[in-house]
Structure 1
Amino acid sequence: MVATLIRLKKDLTFNAFNQSGWHILGTVFAGLYGLGIVGMVFSAQVMAGGAEVIDSQFIRTSSVLMGSAVFLLWLIIPVFISGADAAMNPRQFITYGIPRRGLILGLALTGLVSIGAVLTLVWLIGQVLHWRWDPAATATALLTLPLLLITFSLVSQAVTTSISAWLSGRRSRDFLAILALSLMVMIYPIMVGLQSAFSSLSDAVPSVVDFLTLTPLGAGAALPADAAAGHWGAFALRVGILAATVGLAVLVIRAALLKITERPAVHGSAGPKDAKGLGLFARFPATPWGAVAARASTYWLKDSRYGGTLVVIPAFVVLAIVMYSQLGQPWILLALGPVVGWMLGFAISADISYDHSAFALHITSGVSGTADRAGRLIGLLSFGLPATVLASLIPALMFTEPVTTLALVGVSLGLLLSTAGFSCLVSARFTYPVPRPGDGPLSQPSGSTGRLMIVQLGMLVATLILMLPEVILVIVWLLSDASLWGWLLGIGAVLKGLALVWIGVRLGARVYERSQPELFQAVSQY
């Protein structure tokens, strides 16, 4: 049975490359990116282990930090993909009556059939070469290589099965995904806070490393250092930590599989809830574009695929303020408003793709292209305008002058309008796979990576080209030091943004009306 599960994972992995050229392109790019990072780490490991003068403390520190980072990746990645239909989701094996022991071992081993496992194996081989200057450490690194691989896979599978068993509801998955995304944005402030607890980073690292070696994160990576130093008591302690981690992961997987296969939750049929009022539909005009705007605004408030952007923006503001307080660079806060405007304007570049089969409502009800494009745009601007203005006013509260504040607000609003107008055209012309309704905001459908990268890169380049007039005015303003150019910059950016909104809505409406059947066919397949 274990061999059958491994062959199944292998076949599913290779068959995924037959779906589309975009999927192959995205996978190749992701693999090359990961291989490049691991290759640099591998080279550093080889050079450090073959140096003429060996710094054992440095090698121990780097090994523990890298090992902890790898362990965290195996822990976090399942949270990111929890909303997707994982190929080896335990729920898919409920009806086959697979013995629980074989299923646990099979799921753990199938986790090693992945690009991430190959990259981890390269790093572990680098660990062996990292400690080749000491025979005991080399032997330990070699013996712990398979142990660490299976530990990573078991812990990752424990997270996956736990989410599937106890956090399978949509709200739970969305909360985990948005929490993970927010933590990614807040990594720098968190590190700054940890660093401030110590007098300097050099003082913090040894204490952090010593702590990590007593946790599952760094215990395995510290074993060669204990063997090289002859600290066999600490060696035995860390082996016990690893063994306890493996045992706990197996128990968690077993309990989760018991919950999934033998004690599934029974959801009673609740009666229909009493609807009170029309919600946002009562707030917008009773017109086609007003109905579309109300529907789009409802998505922003209740669909986590949209709401993830709203959660990230406050975290992004905190990140910018912390970076400014640490680095003292004014451009960090000056760029906050324009970046927020660009993020919000770009957010509707896949609005039709996010509709999925619900896009049929727009076709069957005969919504015109202008009403569709304008409604989605107004739904964004109803909160995007105040959010962008607030983000651009943060520097004004700290150091900018009135003319600079006016120019900054104008540029931020202009970038929001310009990007949103361009998105009105792009979303009607280019579609790509996005998370389906009900999936987590961080899930990645098959075949989405390549096309997504191309569209986003194209939009970024197009946005930079559209901002050339503002760049020229900024240069002239800085060279002349005349406040008149600041006024022209702010007002001109807004007027240009309004013009691009009008052009984007008109052109997007034409494309929309000309290609409605093709759009519906594309988004339904996604």
Structure 2
Amino acid sequence: MVAHVLRLRLDLLVGALRADRRQIVRTLVGVAVVALVVGAVCVAAWRLRSSSEDAAFAVTMVAASALTLGFFVTALVGGVDDQLDPRRFSVVGASPRATAGATLLASMISVPALALIVVAVALSALWADRGAAAWVCIVSAVLGVLTCLLLAKIGLALASMVRDHRSRELTGVFLIALIVVVVPVVVFLASLQWTDGVPSALVAAVDLLALTPLGAAWALPERALSGGAAAPAVIAVLSVAVLAALWFWLVDRLMTTTERPGAARQRRGLGWFDLTGGTAAGGIAARSIIYWFRDPRYLVNMIIVPIAAALTIVPLLLVGVPSEFVVLLPAPLIALFLGWLPHNDLAYDSTALWMHIAGAVRGAADRAGRLVPITVVGAVLLAVAVPVTISLHGRWAMLPAMAGVCASLFLAGLGLSSLTSVIAPYAVSRPGDSPFQQPQRTGGGLSQAVVMFGAVLLSVPALWWAWLALSVDESWAWTALWGGAGIGAVALLIGIFAGGAVFDRTGERLMEFAEST
């Protein structure tokens, strides 16, 4: 079968030159562009031979990691059809395992794959010229190429699974993911100072990239020269193994799973409900997303949060607090306010709450579904606020600590909000009313205070570790990251399930509240 698939791949590659004139021109232009890019990369690699080892490692790691990520992103969102889609082989009785192996091997016979191999050879030659062992450079190139090809095949498989359901909502999700990834990188690179050689922040960043699946394979030659190749080697091999297992599983699923006739047609046009799935939590998440981005009561809250957080630094600057400390406040305050926002989310439903109660929706599904929109908003805002805050502060070593503190405040706030919104809801403006028109009420202050101060109290360990990183030893920043994220995750899970239990037991009281406000 492998030989047959390889011949088929060669026929498809040659057949691209037998199409109509316009298609041939587009193909040749694309090949020329790829050739120019590969040539530029090879020239850049040759010029790096005269640079310092730190500079060469930083440039190659950033470029190679971006290339690896680009293979996956392009395959996932590029709208390209896989000519060797595994589902096309199911009609000839081919086994999923044989199909997965043959199509992966055949994918190396393509213009992008050949260009990738040339780039890998150029990078290997660069480090071989600097003294790295030839076999290490070869292993690095092989692992790097396999990682890119597996990511591309997985991206194409995932894209084929959702192609029938693509919509502007799915495009919005991809844009959000792009913002979350690209903005921190752009802010980081823009803040670097290159006057004294390779910035220490960039050195720390590429050291971290060398321990990720994106860069581990490409870091092997340089790490072999410095005597620290064990960790990148293990990560690179494990990454290839995990990606290969995922690819074989996806092929098996594509070839053995058949969608019900008419199911795709039934789901089209449902917008967010199509994207979030048919579960109870997914349906509630879709409805909550629609509310959050259309109801002015939610929109006003989202606009006010970053403005209020930014304004807090003004009085501190006026009283003489050092600016390098003041600029660290907005991001944690944004995280705290975002976690606090849904503390009364159930009250905004008004009488629409009856759908959840009458449908016997489990409380945990209600709690989790309602947190989806604020989680998306929070991820985007914090992805911008955290790197901007650190760039203004000037010490990128504090990035893990800032991320840990923000994660703790945000997730702990969401967990407490999931609990207080069912225990002590209070009246808010009704749907259609002005968001600045608030009804008279006698309660509400308690739940607001519990969420606000409770999130801060739960985040005290993360805040303390961040302070140690700021004033004593920067190594505490990683403790703040993992500790803060862990504390926030535990608080979130407890809040969802505890709030869900209260929702299940007090449905009548909640419905009475919705009818009376």
**Shorter-chain TM-score tier:** 0.3 to 0.5
* Greater relative contact order (Cα < 8 A, sep 6+): 1
Q: TM-score, normalised by structure 1?
A: 0.46
